Amino acid sequence: PARKVEDFLNRSTSTENQSGSRCWICENWREIRFVYDPGASGPVGQDIWLFTSLDGYQQPLKLKKFGTEYGAYMMAPAGHLYYIFQVGEEVLPSRTAPVVDTRGSLQSSIRIRRAGERRPPPPKPPPSAGGEADVEEPAAEAEADDEVEVFVVNRRTVLARKPDEPVCVAILPRAQTLRSDSFQPEAWALDHSLFAPYEELLVRRHFCDRCFDVDWRLSRLSSVVKHDQDRALVKELLLSQYAELKVLFSSLCSLEWAL
């Protein structure tokens, strides 16, 4: 048994046969999310399992349902991570992820024992006519039906986590607090609102004068009002109402043409 486990570990290429300490903190492992979308990733099923090369495909992880998808989280070291899914009794790679042929890149096939309930052993044969029972088949042959040999798996490249990068990011829903009937909301005030830092530049006289000078030059009223005295009167009138005209212009720009 020890030799068999060692062979499976040597066959695993998730860590590229690293000789590190196998510590996810020291080696800056990263949290990986696996997703199986029924219908897109593969056939539709109720029980979906995940096998990875981290443990030589020995410990299947059952995926949880999140909406219409099935997912799971796992810590993995930097490098290539190989994995495969089991949907029902069928072991197959995902159609929405890169796949590799184990006979080419991993130099061997992979034998995986299906997850879930084990098949019952075949019934014992009845005794022969002479009264002697037939020789029973070994238990290993009965368990062989639960194993499957695969040649194609999914591959994912895991990047090393930076020292200052958090291990994972979790988003929690906002807590629902009880609101008392005696609670009186504070009266709204501009000084305590979101608009308190806003500064209206039109109230500055110097700023308005500079804006008016630019608008006056761009208006080219000299081509409409020919006389200098009339132009001076029009300029004085517009300057006295310039702040109101700017506010009215901003308000009209927010309306649709149909109105």
Average pLDDT, the chain: 78
pLDDT at 147 over 60: yes
The 10s digit of each residue's pLDDT in 208-221 is 888 888 988 888 88
* Long-range contacts, 205-214 (Cβ 8 Å, 24+): 208/242, 208/243, 208/246, 209/239, 211/242, 211/246, 212/238, 212/239, 212/242
Q: For strands 61-62 and 64-66, give the pairing.
A: unpaired
Token pair of 177 as six digits: 């607090």
pTM of the model: 0.52
The 10s digit of each residue's pLDDT in 79-101 is 999 999 999 889 999 999 999 98
The 10s digit of each residue's pLDDT in 172-186 is 777 666 555 666 777
Bigger pLDDT: 201 vs 32: 32
pLDDT at 9 over 60: no
Whole-number pLDDT of residue 250: 79
Q: CB neighbours of 4 closer than 8 A, spacing ≥ 6?
A: none
* Long-range contacts, 163-170 (Cβ 8 Å, 24+): 163/28, 167/31, 168/31, 168/73
The 10s digit of each residue's pLDDT in 96-137 is 999 998 887 666 778 888 887 655 666 666 665 555 555 555
Question: Residues 8-37: what's their mean pLDDT?
Answer: 65
CB 119 within 8 A of CB 146: yes
